[in-house]
Amino acid sequence: MAGPSEKKEKVKKEKVLKEKVATSSGQKKKDVKKETGLGLSVKKDENFGDWYSEVCKQDMIEYYDISGCYILRPWSMAIWEIMQIFFDAEIKKMKVKNCYFPLFVSPAVLEKEKDHIEGFAPEVAWVTKSGKSDLEIPIAIRPTSETVMYPYYSKWIRGHRDLPLKLNQWCNVVRWEFSNPTPFIRSREFLWQEGHTAFATKAEADEEVLQILELYRRIYEEYLAVPVVKGMKSENEKFAGGLYTTSVEAFIPNTGRGVQGATSHCLGQNFAKMFEINYENEKAETAMVWQNSWAYSTRTIGVMIMTHGDDKGLVLPPKVASVQVVVIPVPYKDANTQGIYDACTATASALCEAGIRAEEDLRDNYSPGWKYSDWEMKGVPLRIEIGPRDLENDQVRTVRRDNGVKEDIPRGSLVENVKELLEKIQQNMYEVAKQKREACVQEVKTWDEFIKALNEKKLILAPWCDEEEVERDVKARTKGETGAAKTLCSPFDQPELPEGTLCFASGKPAKKWTYWGRSY
């Protein structure tokens, strides 16, 4: 039931709505924003780029005075930490140990990886001065840590008993990107974990690649409620220094772009050769190790924001939200205000004691309606409202952020009901995101179908001959302002490929189904 102050809010909102309808453009909405400081001035469907930066800027990110660098505010850092706790515990179960290597790389060591670094060289940032004097030898800032770590792997791995060596570090890396920086998705400095492991056999390395990839899938699907495809990168798109690259790929329906969510590489013995990572095997022969490397970064948060956010702002999946439930008092003048405030505090405490991340909002300088909008913008999954009627009936009113559904629940079963609701929200967010993605998948067989689907921002699944030259050709033929189309991955879960199916691009016999699209 709506209390009088809620009704007042509703009347106000309706007035605003009428005014909005009365004017032709979104100008009115901008005015509302100016007056209250609340709400977004752009709609997700109308201008996705502006919508995204506005949503990020509300609570997640502060822009910085160096282009491509962003401040991660507590609201986003908390999400990173929750994922970190999960992943860190999982890799520890796999006997991976954490370590920390320096941020700086000497040119001599960086050069060792010359062949593979070549394409990346323009992105490497260098320190050339200390104070006013030039450094004798400039030093690079790590863009990734293969060259930093592997000289020490060579030193530490001597005999078969030193294997496997499984290390991970949580750190920042710097890649001086020149193309269009985007918060979380493409920044010049970002946070990640990088795992680097060495084994005696390829079989062990192969197995770990997939174990890690499964953890990445779980981060996206179970934590961020973002559906991903697990698959193999093409020869063109794999990490050039490695043997093969697996990835989880997400898709953003609004822009029709794929986004590489995380990668798990088998490096084979390439780096072992370069860095002389040898050991004496059981037969007293010299052998070379097999290596993997794997990483996920703060990009995960950007993918989550893009997937779930709406015209009211962020929508956070309960599993990663630092505040899962916000409790808001809805008092009005003749009511027992103190009683309502106390009920809010007691409700939040009871939830916290049960391990739910809950907070009451007792600020006395904002109306309930203002607070509703504020917490909606922040994306808190569940709102609890307590007004005089609720107090009387020994109940609370819940409002879901994902679908707006309201439900009154008895205070006696508060904890169970809220737990259940949070699980439902998590599940629903994943299902909705998956349906939206599925609606974008387009199977094509011919070049014309491919071009049509590409223009319609589809996630394209096409039979492909798996030839590097053909992928390069597709890139060249689709090059435009919005970027070229390329392979995203060949899904491990392959649909049936009937005998005689031809490649959509070359007309040669197709070897596999592959996802194609523009990408971030």
Q: Which residues bind ligand 87F (CB under 6 A)?
A: 117, 120, 123-124, 143-144, 146, 175, 194, 239, 263, 265, 293-295
Shortest spacing between CB 56 and ligand 87F, in angstroms: 23
Shortest spacing between CB 174 and ligand 87F, in angstroms: 9
Q: Which is nearer to ligand 87F, 14 or 115 (CB)?
A: 115
Question: Residue 176, CB half-sphere, CA atoms under 13 Å: how many?
Answer: 12
Q: Which tokens hold the place of 163?
A: 């294997």
Q: Which is nearer to ligand 87F, 237 or 374 (CB)?
A: 237
User: Are 273 and 243 in contact, with CB atoms under 8 Å apart?
Assistant: no
Shortest spacing between CB 265 and ligand 87F, in angstroms: 6
Closest residue by Cα to residue 83 from 225, 195, 249: 225
Shortest spacing between CB 275 and ligand 87F, in angstroms: 14
Residue 279 three-state SS:
strand
Give the containing element (helix H, strand E) for 512. strand 512-519
Q: Which is nearer to ligand 87F, 264 or 373 (CB)?
A: 264
Q: How far apart are CA 415 and CA 355, in angstroms?
A: 10
Q: Which is nearer to ligand 87F, 184 or 372 (CB)?
A: 184
Shortest spacing between CB 263 and ligand 87F, in angstroms: 5
Residue 440 three-state SS:
coil
Is the peptide bond between 495 and the residue preceding it cis, with omega within 30 degrees of 0?
A: no
User: Are 404 and 343 in contact, with CB atoms under 8 Å apart?
Assistant: no
Question: Residue 72, CB half-sphere, CA atoms under 13 Å: how many?
Answer: 17
Q: Which is nearer to ligand 87F, 11 or 99 (CB)?
A: 99
User: Are 91 and 329 in contact, with CB atoms under 8 Å apart?
Assistant: no
Shortest spacing between CB 110 and ligand 87F, in angstroms: 8
Shortest spacing between CB 142 and ligand 87F, in angstroms: 9
Q: C-alpha distances in angstroms, 447 versus 3, 411, 462, 474, 512? A: 60, 60, 10, 10, 16
Q: Which is nearer to ligand 87F, 52 or 239 (CB)?
A: 239
Residue 76 three-state SS:
helix
Shortest spacing between CB 241 and ligand 87F, in angstroms: 6
Q: Which is nearer to ligand 87F, 264 or 506 (CB)?
A: 264
Q: How many residues are present in the chain?
A: 520
Q: Which is nearer to ligand 87F, 124 or 497 (CB)?
A: 124
